[in-house]
Amino acid sequence: MKIGIFDSGLGGLVIARAIVKKLPKYDYIYLGDTKNLPYGQKSPVQIYRFTLKAVDFLFKQKCQIIIIACNTASALALRKIQQQYLPTHYPNRRVLGVIIPTLESIWQPPIDIRSPIRTNRRSKVGVIGTTATIKSHIYKKELTKINGQARIIELVAPDLVPLIEQNSLQKARKTVKLYLRPFKKRGIEALILGCTHYPILKKTFGQAMGRKVTVISQDEIMPGKLVNYLKRHKELASKLSKNSKKEFWVTSRNSKFDKVAKRMFGRKLDLKLVKI
């Protein structure tokens, strides 16, 4: 059985790359729903429908665990899939998201991992994400369950994903600076990059916010979280095959994808097309 990694596009390859680096022996399938990107501009019903199809595809490809690397899908589809779809269709498989692990890494880190910021129960942290993620207020809602005293300040960035996915990184960098200019005055200690596409511009985010603000990037969080999860769930870990095989699927292609995928994953990929 394999580990599935799902994103609305190619941005999740940055997370996949970090996970594969940390756990190279497992077999992986990556799926990017490039046909329906950007999820961030879709309705909750559409996001749920697309995510469910993707999850179903990955389970049919023999995934034991699926990581929904997409924040938008984690915000609007994960819970319903876990509570309604899994128990009736795949009771022995698991689907994990990125939002709770990100918040836990700050305010509830495991004993062996240090929080990326010097935590203070009252700390004020920013999150930048797609329209759908920010409108769902998922980071604020989940934070109240972990730490009722801390604050999340939200910022929506609707234009970034299409620019990154089209490899227009110069324009994307300028857009980051424009978005963050007013946000700098909010006095946050850290900024969560709440979208799989943003870690590729981590440096730009860091420069735009200045040295006092820690940039929290999910490619630095998810590998450790998965290691920890597999340690705690040996019954799942024991089912995973270890042949170091990797497959990469997308639901539509264009001429820029090979370049973008190479930038995200760090090497040329054989992207296969699938209709789901």
Binding site for ligand DGL (CB under 6 A): 7-9, 11, 37-40, 70-72, 129-130, 133, 161, 195-197
Report long-range pairs for 217-221 (Cβ below 8 Å, ≥24 apart).
217/193, 218/15, 218/69, 218/71, 218/98, 218/101, 218/102, 218/193, 219/14, 219/15, 219/17, 219/18, 220/18, 220/116, 221/98, 221/101, 221/102, 221/105, 221/116
Tokens 């876990």 sit at which residue?
A: 82
Contact assessment for residue 142 and residue 75, using Cβ atoms and an 8 Å cutoff: no
What angle is formed at CA 225 by the lines to CA 247 and CA 267, rounded to 5 degrees? Answer: 35
| Rounded least distance, CB 57 to ligand DGL, Å | 17
CB of 274 to ligand DGL, least distance (A): 17
63 a catalytic residue: no
| Residue 195 falls in the annotated catalytic set | yes
CB of 44 to ligand DGL, least distance (A): 13
Q: Which of 29, 66, 70, 163 is catalytic?
A: 70
> Least distance in Å: CB of 253 to ligand DGL?
16
Give the residue at shortest CB distance from ligand DGL.
40
Q: Which is nearer to ligand DGL, 3 or 15 (by Cβ)? A: 15
In the block, residue with structure tokens 């399938």: 29
Residue closer to ligand DGL by CB (options 4, 38) is 38
CA distances from 81 to 66, 99, 158 (A): 11, 15, 25
| Measured distance CA(148)–CA(125) in Å, rounded | 13
**CA 127 to chain centroid:** 13
**Other beta carbons within 10 Å of 268:** 10
Supply the minimum distance, in Å, between the C-beta of residue 141 and ligand DGL. Answer: 16
Q: Which residue of the set 65, 172, 195, 215 is catalytic?
A: 195
Q: Which is nearer to ligand DGL, 27 or 38 (CB)?
A: 38
Nearer to ligand DGL, 192 or 208 (CB): 192
Q: Which is nearer to ligand DGL, 90 or 129 (CB)?
A: 129
- A 10 A CB-CB count for 41 gives 15
User: What residues are annotated to the active site?
Assistant: 70, 195
